[in-house]
Amino acid sequence: MDPLEILTDLEHVVPFFQPIFSADEHRVVAYEVMGRYETPDGLVNLRPFFRDKDVPEEYRLEVDLLVLKKAFSQAIHYDKDILFFIHREADLLIYDEEEKLLQLISSFEDQGLNLGQIVLEISERNADGEFQDLGHLLRYYRTYGLKIAIDKMGNDSGHLDRISQLEPDIMKVDLQVLRSTSDGAAYQDILSSISMLARKIGAAVLFEHIETALQLQFAWRNGGRYYQGLYLKEPQEGFVGRDILKERLKQECREFIQSEKKKLENLFSLQEELDLRIQEWLSHHRKIQEYTPVLEKLAKELDEAAFRMYVCDEDGFQKSPNLFKLKGSWTIQPEYEEKNWSWRPYFLENIIKMRREKKGILSDRYNDIETGEMIRTFCLPIDSQHFLFIDLSFSYLFNREALF
């Protein structure tokens, strides 16, 4: 589409609204405002126009403000607890020195639009070398009651430090990455970083571009408070009934809950099974004083399940060599003795928990550094000061129903 054609035919620039649903109420709680251009051949998405750096900022800003003006003219007649996400390119926000965006929003305040209903959605990566200016500007907008959302999360985790400085109210995660990536484990790692950061800074997570039931379940499982995408509802010329998907989402949520409960039950069953099996085995081998012979015997007992085992003391210092399974054979790795693992997340917390409860713990899933496989670790107390760690192989866990 020729940008000049749009600029000379502004009456055919129109707003569209894509519903955003909440995880707790299963109803529409917000809309994202999107620009469209009406042509004889159909509607054209204006997002490429707003991102076109060859179009001068003043023209992009003019069209953007027109879309918002038409959108707010409809919004003032709608529910006052609804949020409106308005996307703004970082360079346009910084360019708008006359604060035309803020003036436009404020002009509708007397007509019933609450500034607290506006969520300014921005991609900080487009700020280029003006990140500090962007940070100051977003804090300024926040003083007027506007909320801030950071867009395009999920593509990588390289900007998480910068995003934490902006302290957004909402972080939008793009699930198109989940559909296109061939490395699900890497994406899980990125998502874990995003979810942890959101929790630390008190931001809600919105998953966008949800196009399948599987992606919706993924969003639900990973702490998404808001959902958006074609699987739920495509962009509309107007507003939809807020409860339009309430029963459907409630039913899907029940199915997600049942699936997750089944997985958790399987995990707890596996944990209890391993704890009973290994504790009973250890009770018959208490007379062996050296750890290496104990591990060698235990390796034969757990050959189908484990690929690495070792013993640490309560401070995380390794008191045995590694017993490591390589190409079907167990080998001793003495170089690991006296290495300290207390720096690992939750290590000391788990040690105290095992000591108090006197039973083993099954870890969450993670990528093993040496093998690159997705694994879990089972650890249990040998006595009050020493703890056995057993790394369970991917193949073993995969064969346990619903663990992966």
Q: How many residues does the chain have?
A: 404
Residue 116: pLDDT band (50, 70, 90) is very high
Residue 178: pLDDT band (50, 70, 90) is low
Averaged pLDDT score across all residues of the chain: 89
pLDDT at 120 over 70: yes
Residue 258: pLDDT band (50, 70, 90) is very high
At 291 the pLDDT is 92
Any idea which residue has 């703890």 for tokens?
A: 387
Of all residues in the chain, what percent carry a pLDDT higher than 70? Answer: 91
At 99 the pLDDT is 92
Neighbours of 184 (CB within 10 A): 11
Average pLDDT value for residue range 263-290: 89
At 365 the pLDDT is 86
Residue 362 · residue 278 · CB < 8 Å: no
pLDDT at 64 over 60: yes
> Looking at the chain, which residues constitute the CATH 3.20.20.450 domain(s)?
3-237
Beta strands 42-45 and 28-39, pairing class = antiparallel
At 154 the pLDDT is 54
> Nearest to residue 390, comparing CAs of 402, 401, 403, 381?
381
Q: Which helix (H) or strand (E) holds 13?
A: strand 13-22
pLDDT at 71 over 90: yes
Question: pLDDT tens, 316-366?
Answer: 999 999 999 998 999 999 999 999 999 998 899 999 999 999 999 999 888
At 49 the pLDDT is 92
Bigger pLDDT: 103 vs 403: 103
At 95 the pLDDT is 87
Residue 73 · residue 102 · CB < 8 Å: no
pLDDT at 32 over 80: yes
Per 3-state DSSP, what percentage of the chain is helix, strand, and coil (rounded to 5)? 45, 25, 35
In whole angstroms, give the CA distance from residue 353 to residue 359: 9
At 125 the pLDDT is 60
Structure tokens at 93: 């926000």
At 183 the pLDDT is 53
Average pLDDT value for residue range 45-55: 90
> Distance between alpha carbon 300 and the CA centroid of its chain, in Å?
40
At 201 the pLDDT is 87
At 335 the pLDDT is 96
Record: fold of 271-398: Beta-Lactamase (3.30.450)
At 359 the pLDDT is 94
CATH, domain 3-237, list 1.10.10.350, 3.20.20.450, 3.90.870.40, 2.130.10.10 = 3.20.20.450
pLDDT at 158 over 60: no
Q: Which residues contact 363 (CB under 8 A, 6 or more apart)?
A: 376, 377, 378, 379
- pTM, rounded to two decimals: 0.86
> Looking at the chain, which residues constitute the CATH 3.30.450.20 domain(s)?
271-398
At 196 the pLDDT is 80
Question: pLDDT tens, 226-243?
Answer: 999 999 999 999 999 999
Residue 186: pLDDT band (50, 70, 90) is low
pLDDT at 375 over 80: yes
At 189 the pLDDT is 67
At 126 the pLDDT is 56
Average pLDDT value for residue range 211-224: 92
Which H, E and C letters describe 169-206, residue by residue? CEEEEECHHHHHCCCHHHHHHHHHHHHHHHHHHCCEEE
In whole angstroms, give the CA distance from residue 121 to residue 124: 10
At 200 the pLDDT is 85
> Nearest to residue 230, comparing CAs of 179, 170, 183?
179
Residue 2: pLDDT band (50, 70, 90) is confident
Least confident piece of the model among 163-172, 200-209, 222-231 = 163-172
In whole angstroms, give the CA distance from residue 387 to residue 271: 16
At 156 the pLDDT is 52
CA dihedral 161, 162, 166, 171 (to 10 degrees): -70
Q: Which helix (H) or strand (E) holds 314?
A: none
* One-letter amino acid for residue 15 of the chain: P
